[in-house]
Structure 1
Amino acid sequence: MSTVPKRFEVLLVPEHVEDRHGASVADSAVRSAVVEATGHHGESGYPIYEGHGIRADIDPETGTVEALLVDGRELDYALTPLVRPAP
């Protein structure tokens, strides 16, 4: 039986960055937020996580973002959401 993580950190990273000059992906993020499980599931069937203007359906097994709203809007195509365990 697996447990659903209560928190993740979502990083929004520009796709167009070719040379990060040694910076990590986290340092290249234009926005990040710690999101917490709401106890509900989204239309994707995955748990909903919310926090700091970000609402995401996240597959807790793979860390894949299945649906995402940023400040109530869909994500710009130039950004990629990445997920990692919350600090």
Structure 2
Amino acid sequence: MPAHPTRFEILLVPAHVETRGSATVADSAVRSAMVEATGETGETGYPRYVGHGMVADIDPRTRTVEALLVDGMELDYGLTALIAPEE
């Protein structure tokens, strides 16, 4: 079984933000959360990560959020969930 990252930072960014100028993705986020691996597989078949009110299934290979609950609810329209760039 391949080793997956133990944590990711999820950024919720308004979808209407087309150009950020000199702002980073993190600067444009309206909320962020550090999520930790649970060791479980989510409904999507990807590893499940939990933290700070978010439950996410994340494809660690592509760094894509495949499913997300925020405070127990689906993501609001107009928001996009992104994984913060690696530093």
- Scaled by the length of structure 1, the TM-score of the pair is 0.90
Distance 1:85 1:34 in 2: 13
Paired position in structure 2 for 1:10: 10
* Secondary structure at the counterpart of residue 17 of structure 1: coil
The aligned runs of 1:1-87 (5 Å cut-off) are: 2-84=2-84
Query: Structure 2: 5+ residue runs without aligned partners?
Result: none
Aligned equivalents of 2:18 and 2:82: distance in 1?
A: 17
User: Residues 26 and 84 of structure 2 are in contact (CA less than 8 Å); yes or no, is this contact kept in structure 1?
Assistant: no
Superposition CA RMSD, Å: 1.7
Describe the SS at the equivalent of 1:61: coil
Alpha-carbon distance in 2 for matches of 1:78, 1:51? 22
Q: Structure 1 CA distance, aligned partners of 2:18 and 2:32? A: 20
Separation in structure 2 between the aligned mates of residue 41 and residue 18 of structure 1, nearest angstrom? 33
Q: 1:18, CA displacement in angstroms? A: 3.4
Size of the aligned set, in residue pairs, is 87
Q: Which runs of 5+ in 1 are unaligned?
A: none
Give the direction of change, closer, same or farther, for the CA distance of 1:41–1:86 in structure 2 (3 Å limit): farther
